[in-house]
Chains A and B, each alone.
Chain A
Amino acid sequence: MMTRTRTLTVLVVSGAMLAALAAPAFALATYPPNKPDSTELINHQNVLGDVTKGLFWNGKAITFHGEAIGEVMVRGDYAWIHLNDDAYMVENIEEGAKLGGYNSGMAVWVPSALTKQIDTYGDYQHEGSIVSIAGVFNGACKQHGGDMDIHATSLRVLAAGHVVVDPVRPWKVVLAVVLASIAGLLFWFERKYRYLLRQSGRVGT
């Protein structure tokens, strides 16, 4: 049992070191901003302030790239993926990315076969592959109950994803041990005090 834990620790630590070495390579990769980006797709109206005239990009062919996030949901021949083109596209906060506001991205309806190229989807422990797609933007898709989406016809992986290691900060461990000890001491003291009260004939609460 002990040795297994140790092997696991060694594996995790070496993985962390590898990731730390590899991280700068990912961080160096930069991509030109999407034209249009996800915010532009949602915000750009044909006539400013008039919803009856529709969204500018509705029905237009566009290309779009972003980090594949979460998971792929395969629904038969087609699948849903979500691409985030936000501040955390190439690295996440645990790896040192600066806070850059909310997530932002687009839902993409894509032939299932094409999603096989995507090796990683982003979550806490992963930075997803960066994927570029070409397709048609729908402000309110008729096929998908009015969802705002992109129906993609082609898909290309620009960069593979990677494992993200969030190292345990030593100061946190020290703080945790100190605070937990104080809490334990207080608990013990409270018990003891109540016991003494009861001994002396007063009712403890």
Chain B
Amino acid sequence: MIVRPRLEDHLVIGKYTGKVIVGVGLLMVIPLLVSLGFGEWDTAVDFVISISACLIFGFGTQLFCRTEKDMNWSHGLVVASGAWVWATALGALPHYLSGHASSYLDTLFDVMSGYTTTGLYLLQDIDHIANGLNMWRHLLTYAGGQGIVVIALTFLFKGTSGAYKVYVGEGKDEKLLPNVVHTARAIWLVSLTWLVVGTAALTATGIWLGQMPIRAFFHAMWVFMGAWSTGGFAPQSYNTFWFHSLTYETICIVIMIAGSFNFALHWAMWTGNLKEIRRNVETISMFVTLSVTTLAATFWLAKANVYPDAMSLLRKVFYQIVSGHTTTGFSTVYAKAFVTQWGPIGLVVTTIAMAIGASACSTGGGIKGIRMGIMSKAFLQDIRRMVSPESALVSQKYHHIRDVWLDDGLVRGAMTITVAYVTIYAVATIVGVLYGFPLDQAAFEAVSAASNTGLSCGVTAPTIPALMKVTYIASMWLGRLEFMSVFALGGYLWSVVRGR
């Protein structure tokens, strides 16, 4: 029997959703200040409108949804996934008011892409958009990478035990520290430290490459945000190809991979456990899959003689593969060049890298290293069982911060989510194929959306049918929140209609 949610349930959900949206509104103050600083008055007014809309929603829900009740598990999941929908709808206002999009759907696509750290976009003429709007595009991808709920956790939720439930609902489940608010702060410490160091390195490089200091600084900050959050937005339509520099690309590679690491790994390393990087199941998994995909793409493109020497092979192949594997989506080749220079094999290898994706509890997407690790270990265990005597007890463990014994529940969990990812990859691919795109390109773009990567081979464009845009938006959302909380939201809506 499905129980219809009671008034209390709606109140709890409304109250905490409102708090998250107030957070989104406050976040918009930063782009507002940037707009004012550059004298972009029209854009500044756009942000005032958008901030007000967020605050009206947030204060309004808090006014009407008064309750002392704390969240339970299903509330947490519904708040997480629901807040993402509202944050997208309201966060798209500055995009829409800028006049650079053909429809509100396009702006929803861009903002969902930003929060989920995907990096596909439908905004047109981004080479001429305001600095304020660029700040917002990159800030929302940086915020979305940490998790918009994590932001609200740090600043707005005061020590509710329900906080952990929303945190998990957002696809993160590591407790770096016993208290979830402290965990959220530790995540911020890591992210902000990297922000400062990374931005400084890129700014210095930018100036050395011939950029004006102020431009170098903003480009550096935005590129950092795009790389660290594994988002893939960049201030120019040329993406990171703009800089034409081995140094800039190398720094980007470091930031992209660091951004794809599990926050628990960062925290272990930072608190003195340096050996963790060699032993962690996710870094081992990434080492293997990244090496194999790089090897395949490098050998194929060398054989096809697309790039003239070893250095250009490294700069083009390793960069795009890292970008795909970490689910960032930076590129130093034109989107269409994936088709006309990399060919079907290049597309397929990149698609595989994107499908596997980054580490769990990172800013990245995809199936994730820990699941790849668990599944391979389970596979090995089964083989060992087969060759061992029947009475032998074959046990297997993996290392993630500490040693964990593999049990069927763990493997089942990993397999379920993997199957869910493969399903959404397939569904989004089929939608593309039905609209007439070649299978390899449709698969590339579908996996790119659902794994929150954002590399494009030229399929995504403002002219694609609305249903395809909706499919991609849904894939990004499902992929980022790892299904469960979205299903919980679906269940909630269903029970409102059909429950007793």
Interface string of B283-324 (1 = CB under 8 A from A): 000000000000000000001111111011101100000000
The answer to whether A168 touches B45 (Cβ under 8 A) is yes
Given the known interface contacts A144-B244, A147-B241, A186-B59, the answer about A168 and B340 at a Cβ–Cβ threshold of 8 Å is no
Contact of B59 among A69, A125, A147, A183 (CB under 8 A): A183
The CA-CA distance from A125 to B41 in the complex, in Å, is: 11
Minimal beta-carbon separation of A72 from chain B (angstroms) = 7
A contact residues around B15 at 8 Å (CB): 205
Interface string of A69-102 (1 = CB under 8 A from B): 1111111000110101011100011100101111
Minimal beta-carbon separation of A201 from chain B (angstroms) = 14
The answer to whether B341 touches A140 (Cβ under 8 A) is yes
Minimal beta-carbon separation of B190 from chain A (angstroms) = 31
Given the known interface contacts A80-B210, A168-B41, A176-B49, the answer about A55 and B66 at a Cβ–Cβ threshold of 8 Å is no
The answer to whether A147 touches B332 (Cβ under 8 A) is yes
B contact residues around A45 at 8 Å (CB): 340
The answer to whether A99 touches B462 (Cβ under 8 A) is yes
The CA-CA distance from A144 to B307 in the complex, in Å, is: 11
The answer to whether B127 touches A166 (Cβ under 8 A) is no
Given the known interface contacts A42-B336, A124-B130, A203-B68, the answer about A176 and B124 at a Cβ–Cβ threshold of 8 Å is no
Indicate the member of A54, A73, A169 with the most B CB atoms within 10 Å.
Answer: A73
B97 within 8 A of A: yes
A105 within 8 A of B: yes
Interface string of B116-130 (1 = CB under 8 A from A): 000000001111111
A contact residues around B55 at 8 Å (CB): 183, 186-187
The answer to whether A193 touches B45 (Cβ under 8 A) is no
A contact residues around B328 at 8 Å (CB): none
Residues from 186 to 242 in B contacting A, C-beta threshold 8 Å: 209-212, 215, 236-238, 241-242
Given the known interface contacts A103-B127, A140-B306, the answer about A172 and B97 at a Cβ–Cβ threshold of 8 Å is yes
The answer to whether A93 touches B42 (Cβ under 8 A) is no
Given the known interface contacts A42-B337, A140-B308, the answer about A123 and B128 at a Cβ–Cβ threshold of 8 Å is yes
The CA-CA distance from A6 to B122 in the complex, in Å, is: 39
The CA-CA distance from A176 to B45 in the complex, in Å, is: 7
Given the known interface contacts A71-B211, A180-B52, the answer about A190 and B63 at a Cβ–Cβ threshold of 8 Å is yes
A161 within 8 A of B: no
The answer to whether A70 touches B242 (Cβ under 8 A) is yes
Residues from 353 to 372 in B contacting A, C-beta threshold 8 Å: none
A contact residues around B100 at 8 Å (CB): 93, 99
B contact residues around A82 at 8 Å (CB): 236, 238, 242
Given the known interface contacts A122-B128, A145-B311, the answer about A179 and B316 at a Cβ–Cβ threshold of 8 Å is no
A contact residues around B68 at 8 Å (CB): 203, 205
A114 within 8 A of B: no
Residue of A at shortest CB range from B54?
A: A183
The CA-CA distance from A123 to B100 in the complex, in Å, is: 14
A43 within 8 A of B: yes
The CA-CA distance from A127 to B367 in the complex, in Å, is: 44
The CA-CA distance from A87 to B68 in the complex, in Å, is: 56
Question: Which bracket fits the contact residues of B?
Answer: 35 or more
Contact of B340 among A51, A72, A125 (CB under 8 A): A51
The answer to whether B316 touches A145 (Cβ under 8 A) is yes
The answer to whether A176 touches B312 (Cβ under 8 A) is no
B contact residues around A164 at 8 Å (CB): 128
B461 within 8 A of A: yes
Residues from 427 to 465 in B contacting A, C-beta threshold 8 Å: 461-463
Residue of A at shortest CB range from B212?
A: A71
Residues from 35 to 57 in A contacting B, C-beta threshold 8 Å: 39, 42-45, 49-52, 54-55
B251 within 8 A of A: no
A167 within 8 A of B: yes
B274 within 8 A of A: no
B86 within 8 A of A: no
B contact residues around A180 at 8 Å (CB): 48, 51-52
The answer to whether A101 touches B305 (Cβ under 8 A) is no
Residue of A at shortest CB range from B52?
A: A179
The answer to whether A172 touches B45 (Cβ under 8 A) is yes
The CA-CA distance from A86 to B236 in the complex, in Å, is: 14
Contact of A103 among B66, B125, B212, B316 (CB under 8 A): B125
B410 within 8 A of A: no
The CA-CA distance from A176 to B97 in the complex, in Å, is: 12
B contact residues around A122 at 8 Å (CB): 127-128
Residue of A at shortest CB range from B101?
A: A99
The CA-CA distance from A193 to B289 in the complex, in Å, is: 57
The CA-CA distance from A174 to B464 in the complex, in Å, is: 35
A-B contact sample (13 more), CB < 8 A, given A103-B125, A146-B315: A55-B340, A69-B127, A71-B212, A88-B128, A93-B99, A101-B124, A122-B128, A139-B341, A145-B312, A179-B49, A187-B55, A189-B63, A205-B67
The 5 A-B residue pairs whose C-beta atoms are closest, nearest first, are A146-B312, A73-B210, A179-B52, A103-B237, A51-B343
Q: List 15 A–B pairs whose Cβ atoms lie within 8 Å, in order of A's numbering.
A: A51-B342, A69-B236, A71-B211, A79-B210, A80-B210, A93-B99, A94-B128, A101-B462, A124-B128, A145-B315, A149-B244, A179-B56, A182-B56, A190-B63, A205-B68
